[in-house]
Amino acid sequence: MTASTPQSLYDFTATSIDGKPISLSTYRDQVLLIVNTASACGFTPQYKGLQALYEKYEKQGFVILGFPCNQFGQQEPGSTAEIQSFCEMRFGVTFPLFQKIDVNGQNAHPLYQYLTKAAPGLLGTESVKWNFTKFLVDRAGNVVKRYSSLTKPEDIEQAIQTLLQTQFPVLK
Protein backbone atom coordinates (compact mmCIF):
# COMPACT_ATOMS: atom_id res chain seq x y z
CA MET A 1 0.00 0.00 0.00
CA THR A 2 1.11 3.52 -0.65
CA ALA A 3 1.19 6.10 2.10
CA SER A 4 -2.00 7.69 0.76
CA THR A 5 -3.95 4.41 0.70
CA PRO A 6 -6.30 4.18 3.68
CA GLN A 7 -5.26 1.31 5.92
CA SER A 8 -7.99 1.66 8.51
CA LEU A 9 -11.67 2.51 8.63
CA TYR A 10 -10.62 5.55 10.66
CA ASP A 11 -8.64 6.97 7.72
CA PHE A 12 -11.86 7.88 5.86
CA THR A 13 -13.85 11.08 5.85
CA ALA A 14 -17.50 11.40 4.85
CA THR A 15 -19.75 14.43 4.50
CA SER A 16 -22.53 14.65 7.08
CA ILE A 17 -26.12 15.24 5.98
CA ASP A 18 -25.66 18.91 6.92
CA GLY A 19 -22.54 19.27 4.76
CA LYS A 20 -19.72 18.98 7.29
CA PRO A 21 -16.73 16.69 6.67
CA ILE A 22 -16.57 14.07 9.42
CA SER A 23 -13.50 11.93 10.02
CA LEU A 24 -14.51 8.38 10.86
CA SER A 25 -11.83 8.54 13.55
CA THR A 26 -14.58 10.40 15.45
CA TYR A 27 -16.11 6.95 16.00
CA ARG A 28 -12.93 5.23 17.22
CA ASP A 29 -13.55 2.77 20.10
CA GLN A 30 -17.25 2.47 19.24
CA VAL A 31 -19.18 -0.42 17.70
CA LEU A 32 -20.53 0.73 14.33
CA LEU A 33 -23.29 -0.43 12.03
CA ILE A 34 -22.80 1.18 8.61
CA VAL A 35 -25.88 1.03 6.38
CA ASN A 36 -26.70 2.24 2.87
CA THR A 37 -30.23 3.59 3.08
CA ALA A 38 -33.10 4.71 0.84
CA SER A 39 -36.40 6.45 1.52
CA ALA A 40 -38.58 4.74 -1.08
CA CYS A 41 -37.57 1.09 -0.71
CA GLY A 42 -39.41 -1.96 0.55
CA PHE A 43 -36.76 -2.12 3.29
CA THR A 44 -37.22 1.53 4.35
CA PRO A 45 -39.23 0.48 7.45
CA GLN A 46 -35.90 -0.87 8.78
CA TYR A 47 -35.20 2.72 9.81
CA LYS A 48 -37.53 2.06 12.77
CA GLY A 49 -35.51 -0.98 13.90
CA LEU A 50 -32.21 0.80 13.33
CA GLN A 51 -33.35 3.74 15.44
CA ALA A 52 -34.52 1.39 18.21
CA LEU A 53 -31.10 -0.30 18.30
CA TYR A 54 -29.36 3.05 18.33
CA GLU A 55 -31.44 4.33 21.24
CA LYS A 56 -30.95 1.10 23.20
CA TYR A 57 -27.16 0.88 22.85
CA GLU A 58 -25.93 4.40 22.14
CA LYS A 59 -24.81 5.01 25.72
CA GLN A 60 -22.76 1.80 25.59
CA GLY A 61 -20.75 3.01 22.59
CA PHE A 62 -22.86 1.92 19.62
CA VAL A 63 -23.39 4.15 16.59
CA ILE A 64 -25.26 3.65 13.32
CA LEU A 65 -23.96 5.54 10.29
CA GLY A 66 -26.55 5.93 7.53
CA PHE A 67 -25.45 6.56 3.95
CA PRO A 68 -28.33 7.34 1.56
CA CYS A 69 -27.82 5.85 -1.89
CA ASN A 70 -29.83 6.18 -5.10
CA GLN A 71 -28.14 3.34 -7.04
CA PHE A 72 -30.84 0.72 -6.50
CA GLY A 73 -34.08 1.36 -8.38
CA GLN A 74 -33.66 5.13 -7.94
CA GLN A 75 -35.19 4.72 -4.47
CA GLU A 76 -33.44 7.70 -2.90
CA PRO A 77 -34.20 10.50 -5.38
CA GLY A 78 -34.62 13.29 -2.83
CA SER A 79 -32.35 16.17 -1.97
CA THR A 80 -30.24 16.11 1.17
CA ALA A 81 -32.83 18.26 2.98
CA GLU A 82 -35.68 15.98 1.85
CA ILE A 83 -33.82 12.86 3.02
CA GLN A 84 -33.04 14.38 6.40
CA SER A 85 -36.62 15.58 6.89
CA PHE A 86 -38.08 12.22 5.84
CA CYS A 87 -35.86 10.26 8.23
CA GLU A 88 -36.52 12.57 11.16
CA MET A 89 -40.27 13.03 10.63
CA ARG A 90 -41.23 9.52 9.55
CA PHE A 91 -38.89 7.42 11.72
CA GLY A 92 -37.46 9.79 14.34
CA VAL A 93 -33.92 9.07 13.16
CA THR A 94 -31.29 10.61 15.42
CA PHE A 95 -28.27 8.52 14.42
CA PRO A 96 -25.73 10.16 12.10
CA LEU A 97 -26.75 10.45 8.46
CA PHE A 98 -24.42 11.40 5.67
CA GLN A 99 -24.86 12.89 2.22
CA LYS A 100 -25.98 10.65 -0.62
CA ILE A 101 -23.20 8.47 -2.04
CA ASP A 102 -22.61 5.67 -4.51
CA VAL A 103 -21.75 2.33 -2.92
CA ASN A 104 -20.85 0.49 -6.14
CA GLY A 105 -19.03 1.23 -9.36
CA GLN A 106 -16.41 3.67 -10.44
CA ASN A 107 -17.81 6.46 -8.26
CA ALA A 108 -18.27 4.36 -5.13
CA HIS A 109 -17.33 6.21 -1.97
CA PRO A 110 -13.87 5.07 -0.79
CA LEU A 111 -15.39 3.94 2.51
CA TYR A 112 -17.63 1.49 0.66
CA GLN A 113 -14.74 0.30 -1.47
CA TYR A 114 -12.99 -0.52 1.79
CA LEU A 115 -16.03 -2.14 3.45
CA THR A 116 -16.89 -4.38 0.50
CA LYS A 117 -13.31 -5.65 0.25
CA ALA A 118 -13.12 -6.25 4.01
CA ALA A 119 -16.44 -8.14 4.12
CA PRO A 120 -17.37 -9.62 0.75
CA GLY A 121 -20.91 -10.79 0.21
CA LEU A 122 -22.36 -14.06 -0.97
CA LEU A 123 -19.87 -16.16 -2.92
CA GLY A 124 -17.19 -13.53 -2.38
CA THR A 125 -18.85 -10.79 -4.39
CA GLU A 126 -17.78 -7.32 -3.34
CA SER A 127 -20.63 -5.24 -4.75
CA VAL A 128 -23.51 -4.18 -2.54
CA LYS A 129 -26.66 -5.88 -3.83
CA TRP A 130 -29.38 -3.54 -2.51
CA ASN A 131 -30.42 -0.85 -0.05
CA PHE A 132 -30.02 -1.53 3.66
CA THR A 133 -26.94 -3.74 3.39
CA LYS A 134 -25.28 -3.50 6.79
CA PHE A 135 -21.64 -3.70 7.89
CA LEU A 136 -20.90 -4.38 11.56
CA VAL A 137 -17.61 -2.93 12.81
CA ASP A 138 -15.96 -3.63 16.18
CA ARG A 139 -14.41 -1.05 18.49
CA ALA A 140 -10.99 -1.56 16.89
CA GLY A 141 -12.35 -0.65 13.45
CA ASN A 142 -12.42 -4.22 12.11
CA VAL A 143 -15.27 -5.05 9.75
CA VAL A 144 -16.78 -8.06 11.53
CA LYS A 145 -19.63 -9.02 9.24
CA ARG A 146 -21.79 -7.97 6.31
CA TYR A 147 -25.55 -8.43 6.56
CA SER A 148 -27.92 -8.44 3.59
CA SER A 149 -30.93 -6.21 3.15
CA LEU A 150 -33.09 -9.10 4.26
CA THR A 151 -31.49 -9.10 7.72
CA LYS A 152 -33.67 -7.07 10.05
CA PRO A 153 -31.90 -4.75 12.50
CA GLU A 154 -33.24 -6.70 15.49
CA ASP A 155 -31.59 -9.85 14.09
CA ILE A 156 -28.18 -8.18 14.54
CA GLU A 157 -28.82 -7.21 18.17
CA GLN A 158 -27.08 -10.24 19.70
CA ALA A 159 -23.93 -9.61 17.66
CA ILE A 160 -23.97 -5.95 18.74
CA GLN A 161 -24.38 -6.94 22.40
CA THR A 162 -21.48 -9.36 22.11
CA LEU A 163 -19.18 -6.71 20.63
CA LEU A 164 -20.22 -4.17 23.25
CA GLN A 165 -19.63 -6.62 26.12
CA THR A 166 -16.47 -8.36 24.97
CA GLN A 167 -14.44 -5.26 24.18
CA PHE A 168 -13.90 -2.59 26.80
CA PRO A 169 -16.51 -4.04 29.20
CA VAL A 170 -18.32 -1.52 31.31
CA LEU A 171 -16.97 -1.52 34.88
CA LYS A 172 -19.56 -1.37 37.62
pLDDT in tens, 149-162: 999 999 999 999 99
171 has pLDDT over 60: no
Distance CA 83, CA 85 (A): 5
Residue 169 lies in a domain: no
**Which percentage of the chain shows pLDDT scores above 90?**
74
State how many domains the chain has.
1
Residue 99 lies in a domain: yes
Residue 172 lies in a domain: no
Residue 4 lies in a domain: no
Choose the catalytic residue: 24, 41, 111, 136: 41
Residue 144 lies in a domain: yes
Q: pLDDT tens digits, residue range 74-92? A: 999 889 899 998 888 889 9
Q: Find the domain containing 104 and state its range.
A: 9-164
Q: pLDDT tens digits, residue range 23-75? A: 999 999 999 999 999 998 988 999 999 999 999 999 999 999 999 999 999 99
pLDDT band at residue 139 using 50, 70 and 90 as cut-offs: very high
Mean of pLDDT over the chain: 90
Residue 123 lies in a domain: yes
Residue 3 lies in a domain: no
Say how many CA atoms lie within 13 Å of 20 toward its Cβ: 7
The CATH number assigned to the domain holding 130 equals: 3.40.30.10
| Whether residue 69 lies in the annotated active site | no
